[in-house]
Structure 1
Amino acid sequence: MKIIDYQDSRPIYEQIAESFKMQILKGILQADDQMPSVRSLAMELSTNPNTVQKAYTELEREGFIYTVKGRGNFVKGDALLKDNKKVELIQEIAGLFKEAEEIGITFDEIISDVKMYLSGMIKGGEAT
């Protein structure tokens, strides 16, 4: 899995944190799975250990991981993470619908266009 995209304008620590968030939300990383050590991940990604530590600190602050002194970082088994992400996505989508409505694009138009867009992107259940 590609974690760092040097074309992305976001800081590297944000890209690392986002990658792990998605792995946790998708179930790739399960509750109580041990995260890679800061040093090993920094070496693997050819980045500074402080950058990885900053990503881990952000993940812990947001409730995705927890730290055990002397043992490392582990995935937090919190069922609310997915629910929180769902609420966040709904808020973003609602904001976009409101913006569209303000410029005269109807809800039905958006739904129809999104369905057409997705049907062109998805074949056999897999995104292209």
Structure 2
Amino acid sequence: MARTQALMIQIATGDSRPISRQIVDAIRMKIATAELQPGAQLPSVRGLAQQLTINPNTVAKAYAELTSDGWLESRQGLGLYVATPRQRLSDAERERRLDDAIQRFVHEVVALDYPPAQAHERLGRELRALTPKKTA
């Protein structure tokens, strides 16, 4: 039986994203970088809400989204667990989302007036920093 995995995530009050989005993004990143392994049990809604000192409905909303997107699976009477990896989106949808994310990134970088080479290096550094976690 899997033990409940403590979730070391932080909520930023100054972040423009809603708290539930911050939770979803943090958990997805932990799963994508293999910090949370398939089969790991997550804290209960109430437990995570107490840890983050937020409303349990906010956690429930984030968990529901992660479950419907296939990142988590609910086991009746046992709780929520990290789902076995699978391709969650079609190739076309993945490509569309990548294009959207790149366009948003490029527009932000242009607005900040960073040279392309510097932005490329910083992006590469951030992506490389994630790689060791995934293979460990």
TM-score by length of 1: 0.70
Structure 2 residue 95 is the aligned partner of structure 1 residue 95 = no
Q: Which residue of 1 aligns with 2:119?
A: 114
- Which runs of no fewer than 5 residues in structure 2 stay unpaired? 1-7, 108-114, 131-136
Aligned residue runs from structure 1 range 1-128, under 5 A: 1-81=8-88, 87=95, 90-92=98-100, 95=103, 110=116, 112-117=117-122
Aligned residue pairs total 114
Q: CA deviation at 1:47?
A: 0.8
Structure with more contact order per residue of length (Cα contacts < 8 Å, sep ≥ 6): 2
How far the C-alpha of 1:126 sits from its partner, in A, is 5.4
**Hey, what's the Cα distance between the residues in 2 that align with 1:74 and 1:44?**
18
Structure 1, gaps ≥5 residues long: 100-108
Q: 1:44: how far off?
A: 0.4
Query: CA deviation digits over 1:75-101, x for unaligned, max 9?
Result: 0112425997964663135535997xx
* CA deviation string 1:46-80 (max 9, x = no partner): 01111111100010111100101110001011242
* Higher Cα radius of gyration: 1
Calculate the aligned-residue CA RMSD, in Å.
3.3
Output the CA distance in 2 between the equivalents of 1:2 and 1:98. Answer: 27
C-alpha separation between the residues in 2 aligned to 1:43 and 1:97? 34
Please tell me the residue identity of whatever aligns with 2:36. L
> What residue in structure 1 maps to residue 111 of structure 2?
none
Identity among equivalent positions (%) equals: 32
Partner residue, 1:104: none
